[in-house]
């Protein structure tokens, strides 16, 4: 009877963590398509347009380590409740940016994105180690993370697609055009908060560790495979966000020949296809996660991703291919059809299949054998998720200077490192360290 109760409790916990995984994606992936809105409303560069995305992710650098302290002291449920509450406030501030004067709207939006970033950081700290622990670690833990990531990708597909629909028909996009997305985000946050408040969520790590947090930090950093994995997380999140974010700017840019002929609505759907392929990849990862090692999955994903990136960089954008996407007619009706886009877009979109399984693989490999250092390691991970803001900002700056196509060399460099980590850096060479 006791085991049955525990199993039921674990099922509820898994379901809640998967829902929160979707919340992370919904809010996070709003920042990149908002770059198109900010760019048009305030007439700024690609770099400045993606400052909202950068603000969202820089919050990870601020909250990562403190979040580890919060998780250690208050546990998973209270940390999740705090995160959801902060997320509601962050989205509400973004909503307010549409009601203030033009001179302050940009700054208010950035503040809202920054606050929302605190929430996403805390939620990531709860979701990933809890899913890994509930799955029993190892391949099973990776499998559960991949399953949660599938729902994450579903929401990631929805967000840019919906934004593309909302702004596609506008001559000059405004923050007010995306209010329906913000309404949904605030509503979901409020609902999840109430559900979390009422349900019982088991704490996978209830034991109290007497060792000072500073000692735990130093202990975790002694593991080479963890340090290199933390760098891998920084790079991975940066390339995952940078690939579709820059592509959205490229295909939406009316001053660019390829952008002018594609349009904002189709651009949003093309980017949505990237996230949809991440969903497919994560479902496959969840199905195969117990049979294939994280190292093998990361090696294949990095290698194939590099090939696709090189094709995307060297192929001429004058070559067009037809991609199946949703389209808006002159009458405003949506229909499914083929859209002509530069062949580069096809290759960049296909990389979604590769990036889909990387987070779970890197996390699983990096925390292997950490024991009591797991929670503080999660905090370090979350700190370095700021790569999702920094690397896309660098890529957008390169795009301003050298063009959209050449900006993907930033992503290529990142994939080279991830391949190195899969082949060499992920091996635990510090097994002599006592972790109990």
Q: How many domains does the chain have?
A: 1
pLDDT value, residue 251: 87
**Mean predicted confidence (pLDDT) in 282-303:** 85
What pLDDT is stored for residue 343 in this prediction? 93
C-alpha to C-alpha distance for 43 and 272, rounded to whole angstroms: 24
Please indicate, yes or no, if residue 248 is contained in any of the structural domains: yes
Q: Kindly state the average pLDDT of the residues 113-141.
A: 78
Q: Is a pLDDT exceeding 60 seen at residue 333?
A: no
Lowest mean pLDDT among 26-30, 88-92, 247-251, 346-350: 26-30
In a domain, 433, yes or no: no
Q: Which residue has the higher pLDDT, 426 or 436?
A: 426
Domain that holds residue 234: 2-200+213-425
| The token pair that represents 227 in the structure block | 């340090």
Q: What is the CATH number of the domain that holds 414?
A: 1.20.1250.20
Distance from C-alpha of 357 to C-alpha of 284, rounded to nearest angstrom: 9
Say if CB 208 and CB 372 are below 8 A apart.
no
Rounded distance between C-alpha atoms, residue 32 and residue 38, angstroms: 10
Q: Model confidence over 48-57: pLDDT tens digits?
A: 887 888 888 8
7-11, 199-203, 274-278: which has the minimum mean pLDDT?
A: 7-11
Tell me the torsion sign for CA atoms 292, 297, 303, 306.
positive
pLDDT digits (tens, 9 = 90+) for 362-419: 988 988 888 778 777 877 887 888 898 899 999 999 999 999 999 999 999 999 999 9
- Determine the pLDDT at residue 335: 60
pLDDT at 349: 94
Tokens of 328: 């808006």
Res. 436: pLDDT tops 50: yes
User: Which residue carries 């597909």 as its tokens?
Assistant: 157
Q: What is the mean pLDDT of residues 105-132?
A: 85
Do β-strands 334-342 and 320-328 pair in parallel, antiparallel, or remain unpaired? Answer: antiparallel
pLDDT digits (tens, 9 = 90+) for 305-319: 999 999 999 999 989
Quick one: pLDDT band at residue 213, thresholds 50, 70, 90? low
298 or 33, greater pLDDT? 298
Q: Does 417 map to a domain?
A: yes
Distance CA 330, CA 171 (A): 14
Residue 356 is assigned to a structural domain of this protein: yes
For the segment 230-254, the average pLDDT, to the nearest whole number, is 91
405 in any annotated domain: yes
Taking the C-alpha atoms of residue 113 and residue 125, their distance in angstroms, rounded to an integer, is 18
Listed ranges 49-63, 131-145, 247-261, 405-419; the one with the highest mean pLDDT: 405-419
Going by pLDDT thresholds of 50, 70 and 90, the confidence category of residue 259 is low
Residue 128 lies in a domain: yes
pTM over 0.85: no
User: Residue 432: what pLDDT?
Assistant: 67
> What value does the mean pLDDT of the chain take?
82
207 located within any domain: no
Q: Which residue has the higher pLDDT, 243 or 285?
A: 243
Residue 240 domain-assigned (yes or no): yes
pLDDT at residue 147, rounded to an integer: 75
DSSP 8-state code for residue 258:
H
């Amino acid at each position: 009877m006791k085991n049955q109760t525990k199993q039921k409790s674990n099922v509820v916990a898994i379901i809640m963590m998967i829902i929160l995984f979707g919340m992370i994606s919904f809010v996070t992936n709003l920042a990149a398509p908002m770059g198109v809105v900010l760019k048009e409303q305030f007439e700024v560069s690609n770099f400045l347009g993606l400052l909202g995305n950068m603000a969202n992710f820089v919050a990870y650098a601020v909250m990562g380590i403190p979040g580890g302290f919060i998780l250690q002291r208050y546990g998973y449920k209270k940390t999740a409740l705090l995160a959801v509450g902060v997320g509601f406030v962050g989205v509400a501030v973004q909503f307010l940016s549409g009601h203030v004067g033009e001179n302050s709207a940009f700054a208010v939006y950035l503040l809202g994105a920054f606050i929302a970033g605190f929430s996403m950081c805390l939620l990531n700290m709860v979701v990933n180690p809890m899913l890994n622990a509930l799955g029993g670690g190892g391949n099973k833990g990776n499998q559960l993370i991949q399953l949660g990531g599938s729902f994450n990708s579903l929401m990631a597909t929805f967000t840019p697609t919906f934004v593309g629909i909302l702004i596609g028909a506008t001559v000059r996009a405004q923050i007010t055009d995306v209010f329906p997305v913000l309404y949904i985000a605030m509503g979901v946050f409020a609902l999840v908060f109430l559900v979390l408040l009422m349900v019982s969520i088991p704490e996978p790590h209830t034991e109290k560790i007497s060792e000072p947090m500073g000692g735990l930090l130093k202990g975790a950093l002694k593991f080479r495979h963890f340090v290199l994995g933390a760098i891998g997380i920084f790079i991975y999140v940066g390339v995952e966000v940078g690939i579709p974010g820059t592509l959205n700017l490229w295909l939406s840019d009316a001053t660019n020949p390829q952008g002018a002929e594609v349009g904002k609505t189709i651009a949003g759907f093309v980017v949505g296809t990237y996230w949809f392929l991440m969903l497919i990849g994560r479902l496959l990862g969840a199905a195969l996660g117990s049979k294939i090692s994280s190292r093998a999955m990361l090696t294949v994903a990095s290698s194939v991703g590099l090939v696709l990136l090189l094709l995307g960089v060297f192929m001429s954008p004058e070559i067009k291919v037809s991609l199946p996407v949703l389209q808006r007619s002159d009458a405003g009706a949506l229909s499914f059809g083929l859209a002509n886009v530069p062949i580069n877009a096809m290759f960049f979109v296909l990389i979604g299949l590769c990036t889909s399984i990387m987070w779970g693989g890197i996390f699983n490999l990096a925390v292997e054998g950490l024991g009591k250092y797991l929670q503080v390691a999660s905090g370090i991970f979350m700190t370095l998720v700021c790569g999702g803001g920094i690397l896309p900002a660098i890529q957008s700056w390169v795009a301003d200077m050298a063009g959209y196509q050449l900006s993907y060399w930033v992503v290529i460099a990142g994939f080279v490192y991830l391949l190195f980590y899969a082949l060499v850096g992920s091996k635990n060479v510090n097994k002599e360290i006592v972790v109990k």
